[in-house]
């Protein structure tokens, strides 16, 4: 356990405080990076912090569990929250500011504006979580306009989210450079995720089948096997490993996320989402 | 006719050029104002330019006829366009930069992001022009993120548009101060509008009945007459003066634009929209 007393990390709770700190840095000619998170930090988040520290002069980490990206039946109420532990991890990693706004700073009285990315946001995750990407695009637009970073990073674990964010940043001309950080995995291949905490020990032992299956599909696709048959095979593998509902296992264009007829049709990404017990796990790899 | 050769006004056609000029001004500690327009400038626009010149150190005027705020059956194709005349007027007024982006700068290939203000944007004009305010909010968000002004002004003639813009600027934390500029009127009371050019001489002679009627309704409302009866009376007046379809004449809360039961329920605005020939005219006044 990190001692947060001996490693203090400044915390901004208002837009005004965050802007004042960023403006002071910018006046010194320093470049500012932002790592948006919902807390419950793991090594995946910390790898993004390290990348920001390497790419910029000052790193702001935001922590906000965003209600508008959860549907009423989803896990907003039980999403893991432990700011003190998160702050200790960030201080130890060398972050410069924690921006943990109150809900009223993000969603003021009477607020109603939404940012949507209708095509990219309706695919894949959007089919199963219809309001998800509008919630993400709205809150990330707010964070960008509040903090005004020069640079920001998002994990490739949420690959579609990364593409949605790059799309609206381009479309709205938001002056920030957006990068993706590689997925960090447990030793057995399971992608790190705050939602892995929902797994029982038996489910946790079975969960690495998701990454193992994606890796096998990618290798066989490169070997020339037909995509439709590989996707069907993958679903059988996942069901056999103990996954419940399998939302999708699919090869897509790496930027538009439109279905790919074959690997020659453009840069490809293999993406999957499946339920293991109470946890909906997602993962993806380049092909 | 202003000679644009003797009064040159710098023109930026790309985001990069506009940002470079604004960044240079900001580095000198100058405050930057933005006056967004669709061109076809009249004294109403120029009054906004003068207000910006008084409130800030440098004034950027944008000129972009925004396709996404027109429905397919509306007047996008025939909307008046004459950049050379507009540039001459702006140079004479003392504006510092004309930002007239190409369409591809505003709507790049693959663009799809939209900014919506669902409650305010669905009322009044939104009932008759369902995509209008999403088009406005989207393009103004782009302009703000491109130019990054400290301050911006919009005419009160488009009163609901002004409220929509104030709403999304607050909701998204866009760092710009938004002000409204009073409606400028012809000698006979008709609100200046680029669409007045669509009126025949006879229609032009009849059109001031819109403002005259609003003024009469406001005075009688202050005198205690019932709102429902006054609105019905106003519609009769407008029809008698030669207006065709009358979309609405209504008293609303000045910020939320929700219906007001009576004048004691909050700050009030009287708004109207009605067709005169091929022109859909709107107007509004404080009550």
DSSP character string of B119-155: HHHHSTHHHHSTTHHHHHHHHHHHHHHHH--SEEEEE
**Phi, psi torsion values for B12, nearest 5 degrees:** -105, 130
| Closest Cβ–Cβ partner in B111, B116, B175 for A114 | B116
Tokens of residue A163, six digits? 């593409």
Residue A284, helix vs strand vs coil: strand
Q: Which of A268, A248, A228, A211 is nearest to A124 (CA)?
A: A248
A16 in contact with B, Cβ within 8 Å: no
Query: 3-state class of B283 per DSSP?
Result: strand
Kindly give the confidence (pLDDT) of every residue in chain B, 287 residues in length, as a single tens digit, with 9 standing for 90 and above.
334 444 589 999 999 999 999 999 999 999 999 999 999 999 999 999 999 999 999 999 999 999 999 999 999 999 999 999 999 999 999 999 999 999 999 999 999 999 999 999 999 999 999 999 999 999 999 999 999 999 999 999 999 999 999 999 999 999 999 999 999 999 999 999 999 999 999 999 999 999 999 999 999 999 999 999 999 999 999 999 999 999 999 999 999 999 988 888 889 999 999 999 999 999 999 99
Q: Which residue of A has its CA nearest to B140?
A: A172
The alpha carbon of residue B144 is apart from the nearest alpha carbon of chain A, in Å, by 9
- Of A33, A9, A58, A3, which Cα lies nearest the Cα of A177? A33
| CA–CA distance, B83 with B105 (Å, rounded to integer) | 18
Tokens of B20: 């470079």
Does residue A110 belong to the interface with chain B, where contact is any CB pair within 8 Å?
yes
Spans of all domains in chain A? 11-181, 194-286
Could A116 and B113 be called an inter-chain contact, meaning their C-beta atoms sit closer than 8 Å?
Answer: yes
Residue A115 reports pLDDT greater than 50? yes
Helices A83-93, A43-55: axis angle to 10 degrees equals: 40
Contacts of B146 in chain A (CB under 8 A): 173
Whether pLDDT at A5 is above 80: no
CA distances from B121 to A133, B15, B181, B245 (A): 21, 27, 20, 21
B170: chain A residues, CB-CB within 8 Å = 108, 111
Residue identified by tokens 């866009």 is B174
Does residue A252 contact residue A259 with C-beta atoms inside 8 Å? Answer: yes
Q: What is the pLDDT of residue B231?
A: 95
Cα of first residue to Cα of last residue in chain A, in angstroms, is 38
Q: How many CB atoms lie within 10 A of CB B33?
A: 28
CB contact under 8 A, A173 and B15: yes
To the nearest whole Å, the CA of B150 is away from the closest chain A CA by 13
Task: Give pTM, 2 decimals.
Answer: 0.95
- pLDDT bin (cut points 50, 70, 90) of residue A4 is very low
Whether residues B119 and A111 touch (CB distance < 8 A) is answered with: no
pLDDT at A7 over 80: no
Q: Got the DSSP string for B215-260?
A: HHHHHHHHTT--HHHHHHHHHHHHHHHT---EEEEEEEETTT--B-
User: Which CATH number is correct for B194-286, 3.30.559.10, 2.40.160.20, 3.30.1300.10, 3.20.130.10?
Assistant: 3.30.1300.10
Q: Which two tokens stand for residue A64?
A: 């906000």
* Cα of B139 to nearest chain A Cα, Å: 8
Which residue, among A67, A71, A51, has the nearest Cα to A59 in the 3D structure?
Answer: A51
pLDDT value of residue B7 = 57
Closest by Cβ to A112, choosing from B15, B118, B142: B118
Please, what is the average pLDDT of chain A?
95
Looking at CATH, the fold of the domain delimited by A11-181 is given as Rossmann fold (3.40.50)
User: Is A146 near chain B, with CB under 8 Å?
Assistant: yes
- CA–CA gap between residue B14 and residue B102 (Å, rounded): 7
Collect all residues of chain B within an 8 Å Cβ-Cβ radius of residue A170: 108, 111
User: How many Cβ pairs within 8 Å bridge chains A and B?
Assistant: 76
CA distance B141 to chain A (A): 7
The better pLDDT of the pair B140, A6 is held by: B140
Helical spans, DSSP H, in A123-268? 125-128, 132-147, 159-171, 201-206, 209-222, 227-241
- The sign of the torsion formed by the CA atoms of B2, B4, B10, B15 equals positive
Cα separation, B214 vs B219, in Å, equals 9
pLDDT of residue B1: 38
Pairing between strand B151-155 and B177-181? parallel
d(CA B132, CA A69): 26
Residue B29 in contact with partner chain A when CB distance is under 8 A: no
Contact B113 A171 (CB under 8 A): yes
Q: Is B113 on the interface with A (CB under 8 A)?
A: yes
Residue A266 pLDDT: 83
**pLDDT (tens digit, 9 = 90+) per residue, A227-267?**
999 999 999 999 999 999 999 999 999 999 999 887 888 89
Residue range A135-146: mean pLDDT, rounded: 98
Element holding A103 (H helix, E strand): helix A103-106
Contact in structure between A159 and A269 (CB atoms under 8 Å): yes
The closest alpha carbon to B142, from B111, B170, B98, B96, belongs to: B111
List the catalytic residues of A: 45
The CA–CA distances, whole Å, from B229 to B78, B91, B128, B226 equal 38, 48, 23, 6
Q: Which two tokens stand for residue B11?
A: 């023109």
User: pLDDT at residue A62 above 50?
Assistant: yes
Taking CA–CA distances from B138, the nearest residue in chain A reads A172
Q: Does A102 touch chain B (CB under 8 A)?
A: no
Give bridge partners of residue A11 from the DSSP assignment: A98
> What's the pLDDT tens digit per position in A170-189?
999 999 999 999 999 999 99
């Amino acid at each position: 356990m990190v001692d947060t007393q001996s490693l203090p990390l400044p915390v901004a709770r208002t837009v005004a405080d965050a802007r004042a700190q960023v403006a002071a840095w910018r006046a010194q000619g320093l470049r500012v990076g932002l790592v948006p998170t919902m807390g419950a930090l793991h090594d995946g988040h910390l790898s993004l912090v390290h990348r920001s520290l390497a790419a910029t002069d000052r790193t702001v980490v935001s922590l906000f569990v965003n209600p508008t990206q959860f549907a009423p039946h989803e896990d907003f109420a039980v999403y893991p929250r432990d700011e003190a532990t998160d702050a200790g991890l960030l201080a130890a990693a060398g972050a410069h500011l924690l921006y943990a706004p109150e809900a009223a700073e993000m969603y003021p009285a009477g607020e109603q504006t939404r940012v949507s990315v209708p095509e990219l946001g309706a695919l894949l995750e959007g089919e199963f979580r219809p309001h998800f990407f509008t919630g993400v695009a709205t809150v990330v637009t707010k964070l960008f306009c509040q903090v005004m970073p020069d640079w920001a990073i998002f994990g490739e674990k949420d690959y579609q989210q990364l593409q949605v964010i790059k799309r609206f940043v381009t479309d709205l001309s938001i002056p920030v450079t957006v990068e993706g950080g590689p997925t960090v995995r447990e030793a057995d291949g399971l992608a790190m995720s705050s939602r892995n905490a929902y797994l029982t020990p038996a489910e946790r032992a079975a969960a690495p089948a998701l990454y193992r299956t994606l890796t096998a599909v990618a290798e066989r696709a490169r070997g020339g096997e037909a995509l439709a048959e590989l996707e069907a095979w993958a679903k059988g593998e996942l069901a056999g490993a103990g996954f419940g509902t399998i939302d999708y296992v699919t090869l897509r264009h790496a930027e538009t996320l439109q279905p790919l007829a074959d690997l020659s049709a453009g840069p490809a990404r293999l993406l999957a989402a499946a339920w293991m017990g109470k946890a909906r796990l997602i993962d993806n790899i380049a092909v």
